[in-house]
């Protein structure tokens, strides 16, 4: 019995590590070799003898992004592709810029929890829990406020101020991924049948067709 319990405990430990968002590093660092033709779950390590301080450096988050678009929003994501030294470290960072009343629309990060810090502006933010409750947790944030969005849950950030604003987000993956809900549903390639979307959203097919032309 004791042996079986020990085996179960070891299995649980190994399994818990296997389902983690990003694997834990097994060395001091693993700078990404973006030129390697080898395909793995992540990025191949560059020979540590050839690494330089530049591999751990990124410049530019002080610069505002271009928000001249339909949403009035821009994201500058620093992941392992932009900053090779992040490879295997399980983190990334992003600057989020908003025009007045700009919106980061409902979306998910399939591999990361996000913590959002307001640097300038006033934001209405929130996330929705999974089925069956679909409960909305929302809050108005001001300069210096922080809000966390759990991994995989649909969330949004909306600048409710009359001036531009921006924030910094930390994400718990070197490659958090992004699924913008409206784009994924109404702008897939090839498109999802409008019969399916009309039934799913309880809309007339003409409305579905119109939405698909707007995104």
Question: 133 in helix, strand or coil?
Answer: coil
Residue 114 marked ligand-binding: yes
End-to-end CA distance of the chain, in Å?
60
Residue 107 annotated as part of some ligand binding site: yes
Report the candidate in 98, 62, 102, 95 with the shortest Cα–Cα distance to residue 79: 95
Longest dimension (CA), the chain: 67
Residue 86 is classified by DSSP as: G
Paired tokens of 166: 């921006």
The CA–CA distances, whole Å, from 209 to 179, 183, 186, 212, 214 equal 21, 14, 9, 5, 9
Would the CA dihedral through 23, 28, 32, 37 be positive or negative?
Answer: negative
| 54 assigned ligand-binding residue | no
What single string gives the DSSP state of each residue in 17-60?
Answer: HHTSSSPPPSSS---B-TT-----SS-PBPPGGG--GGGG----
- The upper half-sphere exposure of residue 40, i.e. CA atoms within 13 Å in the direction of its Cβ, equals 14
Residue 76 marked in a binding site: no
> Would you say 47 is a known binding-site residue?
no
**Where is the binding site for oxalate, in residues?**
104, 109, 114
**Where is the binding site, in residues?**
104, 107, 109, 114, 155
**Where is the binding site for Mn(2+), in residues?**
107, 109, 114, 155
């Amino acid at each position: 019995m004791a042996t079986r319990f020990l085996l179960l405990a070891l299995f649980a430990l190994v399994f818990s590590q296997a389902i983690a968002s990003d694997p834990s590093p097994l060395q001091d660092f693993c700078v990404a070799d973006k030129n390697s033709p080898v395909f793995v779950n992540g990025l191949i390590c560059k020979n540590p003898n050839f690494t330089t301080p530049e591999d751990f450096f990124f410049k530019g988050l002080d610069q505002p992004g271009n928000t001249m678009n339909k949403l009035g929003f821009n994201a500058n994501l620093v992941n392992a592709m932009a900053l090779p030294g992040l490879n295997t470290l399980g983190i990334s960072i992003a600057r989020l810029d908003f025009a007045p009343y700009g919106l980061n629309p409902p979306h998910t990060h399939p591999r990361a929890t996000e913590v959002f810090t307001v640097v300038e502006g006033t934001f209405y933010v929130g996330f929705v829990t999974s089925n069956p409750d679909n409960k909305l947790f929302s809050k108005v944030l001001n300069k210096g406020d922080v809000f966390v969005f759990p991994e995989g849950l649909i969330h949004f950030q909306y600048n409710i101020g009359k001036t531009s604003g921006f924030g910094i987000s930390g994400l718990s993956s070197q490659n958090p991924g992004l699924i913008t809900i409206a784009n994924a549903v109404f702008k897939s390639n090839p498109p999802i049948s409008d019969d399916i979307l009309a039934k799913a959203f309880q809309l007339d097919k003409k409305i579905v067709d119109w939405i698909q032309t707007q995104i």
